[in-house]
A and B are shown apart, each in its own frame.
Chain A
Amino acid sequence: MNAFLDAYRVLSRVLKEGARLKLALSELPAGEHGLTVKLVYSALEHEGYLSLCLKTFAKKTPPASVRIILKIALSAMLFADMPRPVSVNEAVELCKTVGKGSAAGFVNAFLRAFDESKVAVPEGLEGLAVESNFPLFAVEEIAARYGARARDILLAKSSGVSVRFVRGMERYLGLPHKDTPFERVKIFANFTRDGGFSRGDYTFQSIGSVAVCSVVEPCARLLDACAAPGGKSVLLAEKCGQVVACDVHAHRVRLIESYARRMGAENIRIEEGDSARFEPAFDCAFDGVLCDVPCSGLGTVAENPDLPQNKTKESVAALGKLQTAILENCSRYVRPGGLLYYATCSILEEENDGIVRAHLEAHPEFSAEAADCPLPHEKTRYGLQFLPDTAFGAGFYVSKMRRSE
């Protein structure tokens, strides 16, 4: 069994090098990775709690690689029902394999002495931060805004695999699934990709992404300003005359191309370009512009437990500058009378209404318009906030603004 070693490789990529979890998992050699995936996800989902365990039982903070080894062993014991002696053994072997043999004695002693009943989770919001794995500043903000509901929002679990069907849906409804307010979107407990995927019969698309698209009004010419991997562009191409899909990264532009080809969307024009820099050819050229901006992603933690890593108030503020720059620039592409949409997969006010408010204040030619959506949401001052506890795990935001004639 080398699940511990594989988990170590993945977690090192994520925790030490800042790689995205799904990318790191995709780098594993082909094979059966059930236990590895379980260990990695629980280590990340309970990162806050496991760090607390380490703090409680280690007098000095061990080096980063030893911390990872201990977290894997604790995950195995606490969340994968692995008997302690097996987990200790695997952890000691792992130390030797990865050249940390000198730490084997410490790891052995730590895991044998570990006693979960002695780990004191703090009270209140700090405790909720440990339990939910959200950074404390985010917990405080959500608690201030939603009160007791914050717990449900922050601890919401993934609902499963969200699949949007184009055709042939009937064939898959014999699998356990959840119905959603969108007739052609179902959420499955388990779903194995088959030939229907490459035929474009269905695609894997978050329900939050579908909800954002549902707010966009049909129009002749739409710009999707941060389009990769292309899910929204393709769905919007069903109700718009032409969609121009733009992304700043060349390799992500190729993702849009293959997505659009697979789904047979022909009215999409794909362009590589920086949506934060003015493109004269786009000036007042669109009936609608969607800015689905880069964001903290803190609305999708249930799906991506690696996301809270390194998210700080400062990193969110830095993203805010980019979000503002994109919205500011792309608003110039909206023709008079046209619509501007701003969307994120975040639940933080400063990335959502906060950015929109600043835009509206600086640009009196834009005004917020009422929007609605069948997916449960909270109406904020300027838009719709989908929250993970009521929206199948999706914490998305969308605002709709009209440019005056």
Chain B
Amino acid sequence: MLREILQVGSPVLRQKCAPVTRFDGELCELLDDMRETLEKADGAGLAAPQVGVPIRAVIVSVEEGFFEFINPVFVWQKGEQYGAEGCLSVRGKAGKVRRPSKVKIVFRDRNGDKYSLVARDFFARAICHELDHLDGILYTDKADEIRDAED
């Protein structure tokens, strides 16, 4: 089921999200809905608070594949990259943000099993952007140049 993507100004987007404690059918349903919503919006990632659920769950869809990260935490962040970013909750804008070029995270999957993963370049950027959402941070807080997006 498609869910509504909240826009900047909504208080849920500014909240520190709670860790997921129950890996149950409700979580699966949320993740499935988020995926459907992300595909429809043609985005690279979506965090649960963006659809109004303040829990620590994000999905990322990049060249490397489709990923679900529950309770994700950085193990380390290395290097630096500088580039354009947008957000489904900040429609019509784009900005340039400095991010690490390589990150390692630990996370759980929807069954609650614990994994880690190393991401680089755009994948790393997408992860940083989505994880910021879980602490109520939007890329516009960090970008040094925000413009109207061209499309």
Contacts and interface: CB of A to CB of B under 8 A. Distances in A.
Q: Do A and B come from one complex?
A: yes
Contacts of A177: 115-117
Interface in A67-112: none
Residue from A170, A174, A175, A179 having most chain B Cβ neighbours under 10 A? A174
A174 B104 CA distance: 9
B109 A189 contact: yes
Contact of A174 (B107, B109, B113, B120): B120
Contacts of A175: 117
A138 B140 CA distance: 60
B26 interface: no
Interface residues of B, number: 14
A189 B107 CA distance: 13
A282 B10 CA distance: 77
B141 interface: no
A178 interface: yes
Interface in B51-107: 64, 67, 104, 107
B117 A174 contact: yes
B62 to A, nearest CB: 10
A373 interface: no
A179 B76 CA distance: 14
Contacts of A173: 104, 117-118
A178 B115 contact: yes
A196 interface: no
Nearest to A173: B118
B118 A176 contact: no
Contacts of A176: 67, 107, 109, 115-117
A171 to B, nearest CB: 10
Interface in A32-82: none
Interface residues of A, number: 9
A174 B126 CA distance: 13
A174 B115 contact: no
Contacts of A178: 114-116
B31 to A, nearest CB: 15
B123 interface: yes
Contacts of A189: 109, 113, 115
B74 to A, nearest CB: 15
A177 B75 CA distance: 14
A201 B138 CA distance: 41
Nearest to A179: B116
Contacts of B109: 176, 189
Interface string A161-198: 00000000010011111110000000001000000000
Contacts of B113: 189
Contacts of B115: 176-178, 189
B119 interface: yes
Contacts of B118: 170, 173-174
Nearest to B75: A179
A216 B119 CA distance: 35
B44 to A, nearest CB: 15
B55 to A, nearest CB: 20
A173 B119 CA distance: 8
Nearest to B67: A176
A179 B120 CA distance: 18
Nearest to A189: B115
- Counting chain B CB atoms within 10 Å of each CB, the highest count among A173, A176, A177, A179 belongs to A176
Interface of B: 64, 67, 104, 107, 109, 113-120, 123
Given A176-B109, A177-B115, A189-B109, 16 more contacts: A170-B118, A173-B104, A173-B117, A173-B118, A174-B64, A174-B117, A174-B123, A176-B67, A176-B107, A176-B115, A176-B116, A176-B117, A177-B116, A178-B114, A178-B115, A178-B116
Minimum-distance CB pairs A-B, first 3: A173-B118, A176-B115, A176-B117
